[in-house]
Amino acid sequence: MTTQNVSGDLLASQVKDAFDEATGEMAKEFRSRMDEMEQKYLENKQALDAVRAQGKEVAQKKIQEKGIEWARFVRGLAGFNNDIDKAQDWAHRNGFASTAELYEESKALSAQDATAGGYLAPGETANEVIELLHEITAVRQMGVRRMPLPKGKVTIPKMTGGATASYLGENENITSSDPTFGTLELTEKKAAGLVAMSNDLLRTADVRVDQLILDDLVAALADLEDVAFIRYDGTSHKPKGLKSWIENGVSGHSFASAGTTVANVTSDLSKMVRLVEDQKIRLRSPGFLMSPRSKWYLMSQRDGNNNLVWADELRQGRLMGFPVGISTQIPDNLGGGTDESEVYFCDFSHAILAESDQVEVEAMRGAAYYNSGSSAVVSGFSLDQTAIRAIIRHDFGLRHGGAEGTLLTGVQWI
């Protein structure tokens, strides 16, 4: 073998070794980078999964119906006959952690309030129930002004005589014109909604039972509020509603319907608005209230050219340019012929609804209760039912003593 061949073989061997070494280092570095990238991927994936889980939880909370947490709170109390400790254990066992926390908060709240006969739902949860009432109660929807009711009473100032203004001549004195003030005093009235629930349903963990309890209790309270804020007379620990405020307010603001023709109805509706404006009431949240029967009568009325008069406007929830509310609590069986109804007009920005932000809940297994449908006392024990009662506290009033409203009576829009 020549020296030249030996040198060539050595060089080739060295090149090969150098290449292998370099390749090995590159492979090692590549594997290291791949491991690092994989680790970062796993970390990012975990972070992304956590964000997704959190987003899903938030989305689920948003999807969950308003007031459901309160209804579950109620169901637990009902299922264990007002034993809040057992209800709390039930919530833990069924994975309702937030409900279990509510029971803990409620125990503290109820211990502070010696007047509460049942358990108080914590503020945020109770507020959801109040907001549900605001969404479905006709009077609330008309734009009443809501006020807190601290310590069961609130006094609201009102101007009974306005200040005046005048033009002045040279060297003339400014005429003194002090406004005069009165007060509107509102004191809490206790409203109770009661539903009877099958004990078999209460024992289940099905969330649909919560919705059923919520719907029934809110509907009962909403119906009570509407009839109270519209037609109650303020006696027997009840609020004074629109009817009583208007009838005992400005003379002439309650008047009988002129008839059923389009001309009669137009005249009556126009007069209702005009009488309020004559009192120098600024119309901020004006609107009509009527029964479903009255609304559908107006929907069907046609002019001399056979065109519907008010239908298009009523489909938009308005009448004569003003919002219109519909309540089944405005009767259609008044008068000697039991076929008359009423229509109300009011500027609801001057209507004050003072209310507590607490909802008191109490349940009693086997309790006897009054069924308004059958006008009889029913035994919950024999029917294996639990009576559930929710209590809210509020009062209602008009700042101008009824001048901000009118009442049309003897309405036979059939």
DSSP letters along 249-280, please? SSTTSEEE---SSHHHHHHHHHHHHHHHHHTT
- Structural domains of the chain, ranges and CATH numbers in brackets: 68-159+182-223+356-394 (no CATH), 242-355+398-411 (3.30.2320.10)
Q: pLDDT, tens digit, for every residue of 307-360?
A: 999 999 999 999 999 999 999 999 999 999 999 999 999 999 999 999 998 899
To the nearest whole number, what is the mean pLDDT of the chain?
86
pTM passes above 0.95: no
End-to-end CA distance of the chain, in Å? 126
Is residue 5 scored above 90 in pLDDT?
A: no
376, 171 Cβ separation under 8 angstroms: no
Q: What pLDDT is attached to residue 183?
A: 87
Q: Which residue has the higher pLDDT, 112 or 84?
A: 84
Q: How far is it, in rounded angstroms, from Cα 270 to Cα 289?
A: 14
Tokens of 188: 């809490």
E strand map for 207-311 = 254-256, 286-290
State yes or no: pLDDT of 6 exceeds 70: no
Q: How far apart are CA 124 and CA 305, in angstroms?
A: 55
**pLDDT tops 60 at residue 21:** yes
User: Which range among 123-132, 226-235, 326-335 shows the weakest confidence by mean pLDDT?
Assistant: 123-132
Q: Which residue has the higher pLDDT, 7 or 338?
A: 338
**Residue 163: what pLDDT?**
59
Give the pLDDT band (50/70/90) at residue 56.
Answer: very low
Environment class of residue 252 by beta-carbon count within 10 Å: exposed (0-12), middle (13-18) or buried (19+)?
A: exposed
Residue at 285: amino acid letter: S
Q: What is the band of 27 on the pLDDT scale with cuts at 50, 70, 90?
A: low
Q: At what angle do helices 123-136 and 207-231 cross, to 10 degrees?
A: 60
